[in-house]
Amino acid sequence: MTAGPDLVHNMIVEGVLDQIPRKRWARLRARDVDIIDGAGGPVPDPVVLGRDATPEAGRLLPSELITRVAEVVSTTGVVRDHLVERSIHAAGRVPAYLVTDPVTEHRVLLTMPVGEGDAADHKAQLTTRHG
């Protein structure tokens, strides 16, 4: 059994969700993202879809329906959130990946995914202070 996210993590996720208007976007919490061949992939904190997106029922959400994802870095997930999932979301052509690190107090917005597989990355990166 894995412990759930701590209070700071949950408050950051709520702050991110508060900035995404419900009238324009569907905001989902912790959904399994289907990047390649139905095998599943990362489980971002919030996942954002356009209101016109029509996912099928089930556990996996196809990456092509996603407009943006966000991840709040945990103490045990630093490498995974900053490097591994960065590549995975780029390979899945998710247009925007926001990584918030409460320890370093930085946010990194990654956009313009390019490349394939493990070599996938984002052409654009913007780093700002959290808060």
Mean pLDDT, range 23-28, rounded to an integer: 88
Quick check: 64 pLDDT over 90?
no
H or E stretch at 68: strand 66-72
* Res 37: pLDDT: 59
pTM: 0.84
Contact 117, 92 (CB under 8 A): no
Indicate whether 120 belongs to any domain. Answer: yes
- Nearest Cα to Cα of residue 88 among 131, 50, 39: 39
Contact 66, 43 (CB under 8 A): no
Query: How much of the chain exceeds pLDDT 70, in percent?
Result: 89
Residue of 52 and 37 predicted with greater confidence: 52
Indicate whether 28 belongs to any domain. Answer: yes
For residue 37, give the CATH number of its domain: 3.90.1570.10
Q: Classify 26 as helix, strand or coil.
A: strand
Strands of the sheet with 121-129, listed across from one edge:
25-29, 46-50, 66-72, 96-101, 106-114, 121-129
* Res 107: pLDDT: 92
Q: How far is Cα 54 from Cα 52, in angstroms, rounded to an integer? A: 6
* Res 73: pLDDT: 86
Residue 30's domain comprises 24-129
Q: Note the pLDDT tens digit of each residue in 107-118.
A: 999 999 999 888
Count of domains for the chain: 1
The one-letter code for the residue type at 117 is G
* DSSP assignment letter at 44: -
